[in-house]
Amino acid sequence: MFKFTTAVVSALAVTLMCGPFKIANAAQGHNHENPQTEHSDSSEHNDSQAVTLNQLQQQLAKVKVVTLKPEFLLQRLYAPGELKENGYTSYIVSPRTDSVIMTRHVALGEKVKKGDKLVTLFSESMAEAQADYMVAHSEWLRVKNMRQQTLSESERVIAKTRYLASLGKLTALGLNDNAISALATQNEIKLGQYTLYAQINGVVLQDEFAQGQRVETGQTLLLLANEQNLWVEARLSANDSEHISAQSTAIVEFQYHAYDAQVIQESHTIDPLTRTRTVRLVVNNKDDRLHAGMFVNVYFNLPTEQPILAVPETALVRSEDGDWQVFISQEQNQFTAYEVERGRRFGELVEIKGLPLGTQVVTQGAFFIASEFAKSNFDIHNH
């Protein structure tokens, strides 16, 4: 009687232990009697088990699955940069004859519009040219209105030539059309004085003169620059600059603001001291936040030579032994862990190796799935 009772108790204990375990695993989608049948469509390198999540669990965890496919991605290459005025749109204001500064009309950093007064000067040469023009213009008007019978053709040509020559000299000295027209009317003319006007809309970047100062022909007084488009000079190592071309794009960052930039020129010489090469870019400064002289961070976008497989950072989790792994979906509502090799970083994407094309990879909700594996005490390593 005692032996029978012991046997019955033992059998009952085995039943209680094995029964719930088998049901729990069945709920997770496993069949321990024939595991090969369960995962017959899995990769031959994967011997891990699967965890099952119903639709409600997936919605709460915001699980997202995408098909893995190769793509050309952009790799970021950093370089320090400095903003410069656009040499193609800037304008140097200088006298075209030796002069004396009479009046300043603008200050350093001031914004000007085309046609605004910049500086008024006095020049002996300008006074002579103005006087010659006034005489020549008056003579030409007299001759032009005379009858042809009272004046020879040669006299008419001489008068017209003198007038045109005096007009050309004033234009060459920098006098604008309005100032020349005022000479023709001889209305309140101060011989020798003339004003330089802004030829573009821009900002005064250089201001290198003082009132009363005598300046020479061609001496820079002001530098005007249109800052809508600025140059960026980035310095790269000789090896890195080899991957840059005129088609390369970049991002210019300044105080947490990002601007699109385009490479327009590469230096063909290497600085012997720094062993760097200068790459010039143009950046659109539509919000007028950037100014010449500022230092910025430049990130070049370099496309990969071959298409690669990449997933968001949220798709990668650590396994118990510290290896990187992702979760894939092979059957409806079932997810399996696969170890992968982590590669280069491309912004928010990370290159991975070890999975075939077309694999359904979990890109969002991977940490929730990992926690479900941990609760089930599954061995989720790939060997």
Q: Round to whole Å and give the CA distance between 338 and 359.
A: 11
3-state secondary structure of 160: helix
Share of the chain above pLDDT 70, in %: 84
Spatial separation of the C-alpha atoms in residues 358 and 328, rounded to whole Å: 11
Mean pLDDT of the chain: 82
pLDDT, tens digit (0-9, with 9 covering 90-100), for 190-228: 899 999 999 999 999 999 899 999 999 999 999 999 888
CB atoms inside a 10 Å sphere around CB 207: 19
71-75, 162-166, 376-380: segment of lowest average pLDDT: 376-380
pLDDT at 311: 93
Helix (H) or strand (E) holding 367, with range, is helix 366-376
Distance CA 285, CA 275 (A): 30
Which class in CATH covers the domain with range 91-225?
Answer: mainly beta
pLDDT on residue 374: 82
Q: 11-20, 292-301, 334-343, 354-363: which range is least confident on average? A: 11-20
The CATH architecture that domain 41-73+304-383 belongs to is: Beta Barrel (2.40)
The structural domains of the chain, with segments of one domain joined by +, span 1-38, 41-73+304-383, 77-86+227-303, 91-225
Among the listed residues 338, 366, 375, 84, the one whose alpha carbon sits nearest the alpha carbon of residue 234: 84
Q: Is the pLDDT of residue 46 over 80?
A: no
One-letter amino acid at 143 equals V
DSSP string for 57-105: HHHHHT-EEEE---B--EEEEEEEEEEE--TTT-EEE--SS-EEEEEE-
Residues ≥6 apart with Cβ < 8 Å to 122: 99, 100, 102, 192, 193, 194
pLDDT digits (tens, 9 = 90+) for 86-103: 988 899 999 999 999 999
Label residue 48 by pLDDT band (50, 70, 90).
low
The DSSP symbol for 146 reads: S
- Torsion sign, CA atoms 349, 79, 291, 113: negative
pLDDT of residue 287: 86
Helix (H, G, I), strand (E, B) or coil at 145: coil
DSSP character at residue 308: B
Q: Output the CATH code of domain 77-86+227-303.
A: 2.40.30.170
